[in-house]
Amino acid sequence: MTPALLLKALTAPWAVIFNTAHFFALNEFRYSKKKSLILTICFMLPLIAVVLFFYGKFGSERGGQLALLFYIMPQIIFFYILSRYRDGRFFFTFFFTSGISIFIIQFSNLIDYYSTSENHIVLFLLRMTLYPLALFILVTRFREPYKHAMNTIHIGWALFAVISALYTIILLLIFNFPTTLSTRPEDIPVLAITFILMILTYQHFISSLLRQQKDYHEKEQNQLLEIQLKMMQQRMEQTETAMRNTEIYRHDLRHRLNTVAGMLTRNQTEEAREYIGHSISELDNTEIRNWCANPVLNAMFASYFSYAETKKIKIEAALDIPAQLDLDATSLSVVFANAIENAIHAVCKLPEEERIIRCKCIRHPKFMFSISNPYIGEILLDEKGIPTSDECEHGIGILSILAYCEKNDAECDFKIEDQWFSIRIVKN
């Protein structure tokens, strides 16, 4: 192999590494970041060896064609197994990042072919520069909104996945078959038209994502209003029931006192004691339980804790929340409601004797709220320590909590220890 061909061959593992990095930056995995990375490295090293073998055995043109064919299919199977989402989201992400890699490879081939250099130094410099640049753009400008869309939008991906796959196949055919594009300059206008169509298609895709995200936020706002309405309605029902019971008890109080006085006159002290105990028990049923001093948060806690108790869940709560808060109590109540609702959902999967939720809130030195609950099964945390779930509603609750923390300068962390899951929110 000549030095020029060796220089070109060295860009092959570089392309494989960064193509994998592009996909890794956008995709959601079933396992932790560390485990996924280790498995990917173990899989990609032999694949890189295969790519180098084709280059060395068949030369840069034929070897490149074979390498692409034997490189893409094993990757699809491997990453499909590893991915959290095994639907249109996975296939769109895979073919989108593959299209970026194919474009960089063939664009550098064309520029190198029409340059005056014959030692492939132009090709080498272009690939060494464009791959890291593409990764930088994906990570800094595209990853966060894209992953947010993957986690919140669950429809419409299949069509774009098919379109993205077709564009990838078209690029492969244009660039490589029947010969490389550098030997077919008459086909360059076809390539230009294809790129224009790709840009328009992906622009439409991005616009569609933005519309769906807007619909999601509207749905989330409606959900918040429903939660608030539900809390207020339940609190009103509890208050009305307690008031009716109090009126009945007050009406009967004179008769009860006369009954006790008659028992004491007849020296029926034991019967009087039992009667008083029964009356006290009935009086307790008229009490409206207050969980904290803030009326909005108290209504929320009363609503959700009452619901939890109907599910045979034991509540242990120590809530030091004043009547007046520097925070928006309504927004905060929705955050707490989402956290408690997730805890109820997890605890209901356990036997009744193991169902318990612990809530704690302090206001000094900082306002801090935590919820802990046992769970069954497995909870995975992503690279940011955020729990992942395929359950749509669960995902919305977590995202709502994180959005609140980001907006209100608060920190949120999650902890898993001895089959207990904890969430803690601290206001900075």
* β partners of residue 356: 314
pLDDT over 80 (residue 54): no
What percent of the chain has pLDDT above 70?
A: 79
Please give the average per-residue pLDDT across 404-420, as a whole number. Answer: 86
pLDDT at position 193: 87
Q: How far is CA 394 from CA 144, 253, 257, 391, in A?
A: 19, 49, 53, 5
pLDDT over 70 (residue 401): yes
pLDDT at position 393: 46
pLDDT at position 223: 64
Q: What is the pLDDT of residues 295-328, one digit of tens each?
A: 888 888 887 888 888 899 999 999 998 888 888 8
- The average confidence (pLDDT) of the chain is 80
The closest of 356, 265, 366 to 305, measured between CA atoms, is: 356
Q: What is the pLDDT of residues 126-173, one digit of tens each?
A: 999 999 999 999 998 888 778 877 877 777 788 889 998 898 888 878
Tell me whether the omega of the peptide bond preceding residue 365 falls within 30 degrees of 0, making it cis.
Answer: yes
- 380 versus 390: which is more confidently predicted? 380
Q: Which amino acid is at 378?
A: E
Within 8 A by CB and 6+ apart from 314, the residues are 355, 356, 357
Q: What is the pLDDT of residues 314-366, one digit of tens each?
A: 999 999 988 888 888 877 888 888 899 889 999 999 999 999 999 999 988 88
Q: Which amino acid is at 414?
A: F
3-state secondary structure of 275: helix
Whether the model clears a pTM of 0.85, i.e. scores above it, the answer is: no
pLDDT over 80 (residue 231): no
What percent of the chain has pLDDT above 90?
A: 18
Cα angle value 176/178/181 (rounded, 5°):
45
pLDDT at position 392: 43
Taken in order of first residue, the domains within the chain and their CATH numbers are: 3-183 (no CATH), 290-428 (3.30.565.10)
Q: What is the pLDDT of residues 174-195, one digit of tens each?
A: 877 777 777 777 888 888 888 8
